[in-house]
Amino acid sequence: MKTLFILLLLVLPGFALAQSDADLVAARIAQFRPALLDEHPRLLLRPADLPALREFIKILPAQPDGAMLAKLALPPLDNKVLIAEPRAVKNGTSEGTKQWQAGYKAANDTAAWAQRYALAWLITEDPAYGREAARWLLHLASWNIDRETYRTNDELFIQSLRPMIFAYDWAYAALTPEERAIVGKALIARMTVLAAQVQPKFSLTQAGAPDNGLSHPMRFISTLGQGGLALFHETPDAPGWLAWSYEYYQRQFPVWGGPAGGWAEGLNYWSTGISQHQRFLEGMVLLGFNEPLQRPFWRNTPYYGLYGLMPYGGSFFGDLSNIMRPSGSIALMMEKFAVLNADPYPLAYAKALRQKPPTAFSYYTYDGIDSVLQSFRSAQAKLPEAKLADLPQSHYFDDIGVVTMHSALGDAARDIMLGFRSSPRGSASHGFADQNSFVLNAFGQPLAINSGYREFYDSPHHVGWSRQTKAKNAILFGGEGQRIKDASASGRITRFADGASFSFASGDATRAYAPHAERALRHVFFVGRRYFVMLDEAAASEPVQYQWQLHARSQMTLAPERNEVVQQQGDARLAVRFLVPAPGALTLSQTDAFSPPVGASYQAKMPNEWHVTAKTKVAAKQQNFLTLLYPWHASESGAQPASQSMQAAQGHAMRLSGQGLDEIVLMAREAEKQVEAGDWKLAGMAASFSTQGDTLRFSLIEATRLAGPLSLQISQPISLEGVRNANGLNLTASLTQPLTLQLKPGFSVKSVAGALSWQQAVDGGVTLQLAAGPLQLSVLK
């Protein structure tokens, strides 16, 4: 009877036996044992790969960048002086950080030479390369790397270890039995320390929450897996290291993101972390184990880079974002995504970055060896051409609360991009207190930036400025911002609507500002993929003065009489105009000072930054800001269009005119969802109307009713865009459910295409029944 019950649990839908971490590891080891033969190499290369690799190296010099890569693969045999064992020193002060960095750089350099000579031996089978690999490996094995090293300088520990693992695996047959025993013993001891430091911090069966202390241990999981693979037959513990690591990637990875592919620590930590994780998982794929890479996160995370990282030194969210640039390592990573996922779009993006293959040997990036091996793999994989313009121009990463809006994705010279963050993961780890903040890049330049630097982790400037809300394009409540290093200081994207000609997002950061705010809402409308209108709804428990912050890399021009700030960077321009509150209600000020300041020696080598504050003159419990952000290129004729706030009985409205434009934008407050201004009445969140001759172009956000020169009534809130001209009316939307649309187009309807059914009333109104799914509706005269 007991056996029958267990069988029922296994086969009946909705039932499953609970498994412990130990059960999962044991089952995975049982799968690995027959598949992983007792042979080397196993890391990124298999014995069966070597003949093709050796032939490829012969023809590599004739390929683009091939001569450089061939020289990296076959370094000179010049009996280099061994690098002395570095001393493990803690960081946390300016001088301590220098020594801490010098330690891990020396460790990485030493281990990289061992790995390079090991690869050269695999390629050439030249005993001289084998002896060099052995010399550097034995030197590494002699170092006193232990638990205290990890506690003092975990980067020195890991950066000496990961390349050493590869060198041992690749040069295995070149080592004598005595040498294998010495190097293997050192590796096992260090892997034992690593497992004890990493595994207790994570669970295979329970999702972990973002935590300030998980950034390094999560990155190190990849090395734990690689060590387990290399030593699989050398120690009883190794299969467990490999199985546990593989299972974590399969079941829980990462705490910083989810199925959408985002990374809450920001692009810099995404790129340096993913290179480590991807290297391990790519190696497992080559051995026939590809389950983790089939998860949605791995299919989608290349798009986090594609939509967030500009093809130049732009600005984005997270730690070290202001020193981040496109790199050969990121381009290589995107090439790998393309090959591993059979997806041509990451490859198209990698080409748009226009980077040379990486040749350096930094732990934090892909290196010269990776370039050689990727060139080898790419020669075996062919993907179709793809154009980034064919992708949706905006994207919402709901796992981390980031929206990116583009006008010409991948085209640096033409693209306008705004990033908007309101993250459920708060400000933990390398994320900052920037809920409801934005960055804006346009025409090849960063215009509104994520401000601040990091001389060393948790320096006074890093903690007191870079992490703080005051360093972001966000609002302060009486000078107060959001809580730092706190996963509960979170925000949330409450809506995202997207069409061919618009994007719209709303964020709620109230929780992050607690206890200073009772309401902290921001709505961002990308109108015609040309400019942005932003509505902030702020409320505090007591009357305060509100500060609207803007940061840039060059000095801005202030025009208080127009409530205007103009910023220029290269040939790119950005006008920021406050339409609400009215001129005279704000004090505009500017400084290039940081508080606290950046360390003098560090600031001397970094670009300066400027900070504008628009501060309300009168304290109040509630305050709205209606702001126009209009980017343009210096080559465009004339000045930016004129803008003015329109009188509104409800909600907010503005008009943009000049330079061939006549446009009206309506923005509703969250609680009301009503706007009444000029000839228009809207029940919905927002709308835009552009008139050119007899053509009216419009977009509606979460609308149920529109009255005015065009009248619509909809049974469910929808976001749509449309054109009315001499031929009739066209509407485009994506409907999640069937609905009824009633409209008065202002002309007699002769035919309708795209509706399930339609009926015209005596008064000229038309009632249409619409199906769920993509809508392409034509109402013709």
Whether residue 41 has a cis bond before it, omega within 30° of 0: yes
The 10 Å Cβ neighbour count of residue 349 is 28
Per-residue pLDDT for 659 more than 90?
no
Per-residue pLDDT for 353 more than 80?
yes
What integer pLDDT is reported at residue 606 of this predicted model? 85
Question: How far, in Å, are 638, 644, 664, 691, 692 from residue 657 at the CA level?
Answer: 13, 9, 9, 10, 11
Q: What is the DSSP string of 325-390?
A: ---HHHHHHHHHHHHHHT-HHHHHHHHHHT-PPP-S--TTS--HHHHHHHHHHHTT-------GGG
Sign, CA dihedral 43-44-47-51, equals negative
208 - beta bridge partners?
none
pLDDT tens for 467-514 read 999 999 999 999 999 999 999 999 999 999 999 999 999 999 999 999
Measuring CA to CA, which residue among 565, 511, 563, 518 is closest to residue 537?
518
Confidence of residue 762 (pLDDT cuts 50, 70, 90): confident
Structure tokens at 67: 């001569």
What integer pLDDT is reported at residue 91 of this predicted model? 87
Report d(CA 459, CA 466) in Å as an integer.
10
Give the neighbor-by-neighbor strand order of the sheet with 416-421.
394-397, 402-406, 416-421, 437-442, 445-448
Report d(CA 720, CA 399) in Å as an integer.
25
Torsions phi, psi for 525 (to 5 deg)? -120, 115
686 neighbors 670 (Cβ within 8 angstroms): no
649 neighbors 657 (Cβ within 8 angstroms): no
Report d(CA 698, CA 676) in Å as an integer.
16
The residue ranges of DSSP E strands in 478-563, in sequence order, are: 492-498, 502-508, 519-527, 531-544, 546-552, 557-559
Residues 6+ apart with CB under 8 A from 762: none
Q: What is the DSSP letter of 562?
A: G
The stretch 601-627 carries a mean pLDDT of 94
The stretch 260-275 carries a mean pLDDT of 97
Amino acid letter, residue 701: I
129 neighbors 137 (Cβ within 8 angstroms): no
Residues in the chain: 781
Confidence of residue 15 (pLDDT cuts 50, 70, 90): very low
Per-residue pLDDT for 328 more than 80?
yes
3-state secondary structure at position 546: strand
Q: Could you tell me which CATH number the domain at 257-391 has?
A: 1.50.10.100
Amino acid letter, residue 275: S
pLDDT tens for 688-741 read 999 998 899 999 999 999 999 999 999 999 999 999 999 999 999 999 999 999
712 - beta bridge partners?
706, 743
Measuring CA to CA, which residue among 764, 702, 686, 697 is closest to residue 735?
702
Cα 653 to chain centroid distance, Å, stands at: 33
What integer pLDDT is reported at residue 18 of this predicted model? 54
Q: Which residues of 130-155 are buried (b: 16+ CB within 10 A; e: fewer)?
A: bebbbbbbbbbbebebeeebbebbbb
- CB-side exposure of 650: number of CA atoms within 13 Å? 16
Range picked from 8-12, 425-429, 690-694 for highest mean pLDDT = 425-429
Rg (CA), the chain: 29
Report d(CA 95, CA 652) in Å as an integer.
54
pLDDT tens for 430-457 read 999 999 999 999 999 999 999 999 999 9
Per-residue pLDDT for 46 more than 70?
yes
Query: Identical fold at 24-49+82-253 and 257-391?
Result: yes
464 neighbors 596 (Cβ within 8 angstroms): yes
Confidence of residue 638 (pLDDT cuts 50, 70, 90): low
Report d(CA 424, CA 362) in Å as an integer.
32
The residue ranges of DSSP E strands in 528-585, in sequence order, are: 531-544, 546-552, 557-559, 564-569, 572-580
Per-residue pLDDT for 265 more than 90?
yes
Confidence of residue 355 (pLDDT cuts 50, 70, 90): very high
Question: How far, in Å, are 44, 168, 177, 231, 494 from residue 184 at the CA level?
Answer: 19, 8, 10, 8, 54
What integer pLDDT is reported at residue 10 of this predicted model? 39
Query: Class of 393-640 per CATH?
Result: mainly beta
686 neighbors 701 (Cβ within 8 angstroms): yes
340 neighbors 293 (Cβ within 8 angstroms): yes
Q: What is the DSSP letter of 193?
A: H
Amino acid letter, residue 271: S
Residue spans of the domains in the chain: they are 24-49+82-253, 257-391, 393-640
Report d(CA 235, CA 224) in Å as an integer.
14
Report d(CA 466, CA 140) in Å as an integer.
38
Element (H, E) at 667: strand 661-667
Give the neighbor-by-neighbor strand order of the sheet with 502-508.
492-498, 502-508, 519-527, 531-544, 620-633, 572-580, 564-569, 557-559
Confidence of residue 745 (pLDDT cuts 50, 70, 90): confident
Q: Percent of the chain beyond pLDDT 90?
A: 88
CATH value of 24-49+82-253 in 3.40.50.970, 2.160.10.10, 3.60.10.10, 1.50.10.100: 1.50.10.100
Sign, CA dihedral 296-302-303-308, equals positive
Element (H, E) at 662: strand 661-667
